[in-house]
Amino acid sequence: MILAGNDLLEEITEQFARQKNKFPRRGALDYPKVIAGWIGGLEAFLLPYVTAGAVAADGIGHLTMHDAEHVGRVRQVASNLVAQSDPIDLTPFELTLLLIAVYLHDIGNVLGRAGHERQIHRALTSAGTTLSIDQVEYATAKQIAGVHGGTVAGSKDTISILEEKTAVSGEHVRPRLLAAILRLADELADDPARANRVQLGADALPQESVVYHVVAAGLHSQMPDVSTREITLKFTFNDPGLFRKKLGKGSGQVHLLDEIFERSMKVFNEARYCSRFMRPYLEFERVKVDIMIHDDQLIPLHDIVYTIAEHGYGDHRSNIYEMVPELAAYKGNGKLTPAYLRKLIAAALEDRA
């Protein structure tokens, strides 16, 4: 599907100008104008306070950013996913609901992270930023946004509670498909802008948050390629010392390499899960990871490349070494563990001396 300017709002605006009858009530409501004004209100009166609100409500460390830039990145990734898939044919009204859901999905965090998917309406009304569309349409977008994470009855399978296809304001809508696009876009929206670089550089982050910001600062690209069904994650770190020590995470500590392994496995699991609801339009089978480690002079020390994919009979595997055989016998030796990586970095540094 080719989007105008490769952006959801631009496509909705163009579609509304050309064929208003594709919208509810034959375009009696100017959806592009109403939504653009609503987004402006969110960016002025709500999104700047989401991260600080979550920290204050939960009393936890400094979250990665949940601000307007993050939501804009989710919008961009969702737009790219839709634009990359030729067979997909979202209606103008489905595009409208998807865009609204993008802006709804994280705002409940302002009242605390726990159950934030269920705090969307309360956050909107408290900030005076409610959306002036039909209540059924708003409720549908809110349901789509509300299953981007969390659990339902203790299960992470949240999208299944939505209908595969339904009617909203006289238009056909596919809630599961829209929810899966949003959920995957949110998963792929981490980038250096989500890290608090000032506190990170000054070593002033609360210990329970450090590893999240280090990973975000190093993760410069998350690129889905619909044609190859592959998602590429690219990390770059210019401080090898980050791999010599444990970093704060919650009430404990973790090695950076183990955190990257866990994160890449999460991307793989989320991609496979969302693909279940996006077929036959979108499907992802592999996650390719590239971790480049430089010294403080930006000279490469070590490059770790691996691909997570199903193999063999297809039994469920949750261990990174089971999913990625090359990490279990890295370069023909033993497992690539944090201790082994420290030796490889030390040897590379010694060669430079």
Does the pLDDT value for residue 21 go beyond 70? yes
- 216 and 247 in contact (C-beta within 8 Å)? no
Tell me how far apart the terminal alpha carbons of the chain are, to the nearest angstrom: 54
Q: Which CATH architecture has domain 4-187?
A: Orthogonal Bundle (1.10)
Average per-residue pLDDT for the chain: 91
Q: How far apart are CA 141 and CA 264, in angstroms?
A: 29
pLDDT of 188 reads 96
Where along the chain do its domains lie? 4-187, 199-352
pLDDT of 314 reads 62
Q: What is the pTM of this model?
A: 0.93
Does the pLDDT value for residue 61 go beyond 60? no
- For 72-82, the pLDDT digits (tens) are 999 999 999 99
Which of 88-102, 107-121, 212-226 is predicted least confidently? 107-121
Average pLDDT rounded to a whole number, residues 300-316: 86
State CA 305 to chain mean position distance: 21
pLDDT band at 28; cut points 50, 70, 90: very high
pLDDT of 196 reads 82
pLDDT band at 56; cut points 50, 70, 90: low
pLDDT of 22 reads 94
Q: Which residues of 22-33 are buried (b: 16+ CB within 10 A; e: fewer)?
A: bbbeebebebbe
Does the pLDDT value for residue 213 go beyond 80? yes
Q: How far apart are CA 100 and CA 12, in angstroms?
A: 12
pLDDT of 353 reads 66
Rg of the chain on CA atoms, in Å: 22
| Selected residue with higher pLDDT from 112 and 85 | 85
Q: How far apart are CA 346 and CA 200, in angstroms?
A: 24
Average pLDDT rounded to a whole number, residues 98-105: 96
- For 157-183, the pLDDT digits (tens) are 999 999 999 999 999 999 999 999 999
- For 104-150, the pLDDT digits (tens) are 998 888 877 666 677 889 999 988 999 999 999 999 999 999 998 87
pLDDT of 291 reads 98
Average pLDDT rounded to a whole number, residues 79-100: 93
Exposure of 259 in the CB half-sphere (CA atoms within 13 A): 24
Considering Cα of 313, then 316, then 321, then 324, what sign does the dihedral take? Answer: positive
pLDDT of 285 reads 96
Does the pLDDT value for residue 294 go beyond 80? yes
Question: Six-digit token pair at 217?
Answer: 């600062």
